[in-house]
Amino acid sequence: MQNIVMNNKKFDGKRLSDFLYSSFNGLTKNTLYKAFRKKDIRINNVKINEDTLIHMNDEITIYIVDELLFKKINIEKIYEDDNILVVNKPSNIEVLGDNSLTEFLKKEYSYISPCHRLDRNTKGLVLFAKNEESLNILLEKFKNKEIEKHYLAKVYGIPEKTNQTLSAYLFKDNKKSMVYISDVPKKGYVKIETSYTLLDKNERNNYSILDVELHTGKTHQIRAHLAHIGLPIIGDGKYGINEINKRFGCKTQELYSYSLKFNFQTDSGILNYLNGKTVQTKPFK
């Protein structure tokens, strides 16, 4: 049995099924509608037998075994010591929130906290601190750009330049969960910088593999910025091209955080031993 309170404005006035699919990563349509038929779901202690609309602060009780609500997740550990953990995040899981990567790891660690985030469907390396002292140091290092993150992106199209640093302006629309890119300053837009290096290209199928580095870490920055210059990430359902995604058979963006390098410029306390270290994993496995 699971008892949860609906406190996400995104789902206010929306169907219960949408909220439950978002809350439980292993829930299937078949399991949910079987629960409706058996009246195994209650809203504010009232049994329901069909999908219905929910509202803020509704209390939802679900009599479904955990095995049918949650996927079994195998998290690959890439590097670990007494202070940090680096894992290889799969797609379709958030770094923070209910049923997230962090919540999964908390079952094993007494203290674990992410130092940065990846989009739900972006795969790859996530750095966690295993104690508060390490967390404070690493957050400061990210802020001062002393930790270098590299991504690999499979994009549709072939860039004219083999490497380039792109500058633009980004606006985040929280209501639509979208960002917009402008080449010129506008009210509400913040400046962003994204660098890429062409690693490989396939002219026959018109795609490229890019090494991408963020100089400013804004929401959806890589996905939106590359799409803005005509190089949408293959598989990206939000900023990509659906026809292209179908052609390549990709349902999630081909974007992979594959490298973390510690470039400490100042004293790093108990983490000084990490300076100069690079942690990498193989992408597109």
**Active site residues per annotation:** 119
Supply 142's token pair.
Answer: 């990210």
C-alpha 95/C-alpha 137 separation (Å) is 20
Q: Quick one: which of 63, 56, 69, 50 has its CA closest to 3?
A: 63
Burial 264-279 (b: 16+ CB within 10 A, else e): beeebeebeebeeeeb
Q: Do 89 and 95 meet the contact criterion of CB atoms below 8 Å apart?
A: yes
How would you classify the pairing of strands 147-156 and 207-214? Answer: antiparallel
The beta strands (E) that lie in the chain are given as: 2-5, 41-43, 46-48, 59-62, 76-80, 84-89, 113-114, 123-129, 147-156, 163-173, 178-182, 190-202, 207-214, 255-262, 278-280
The beta strands (E) that lie in 100-251 are given as: 113-114, 123-129, 147-156, 163-173, 178-182, 190-202, 207-214
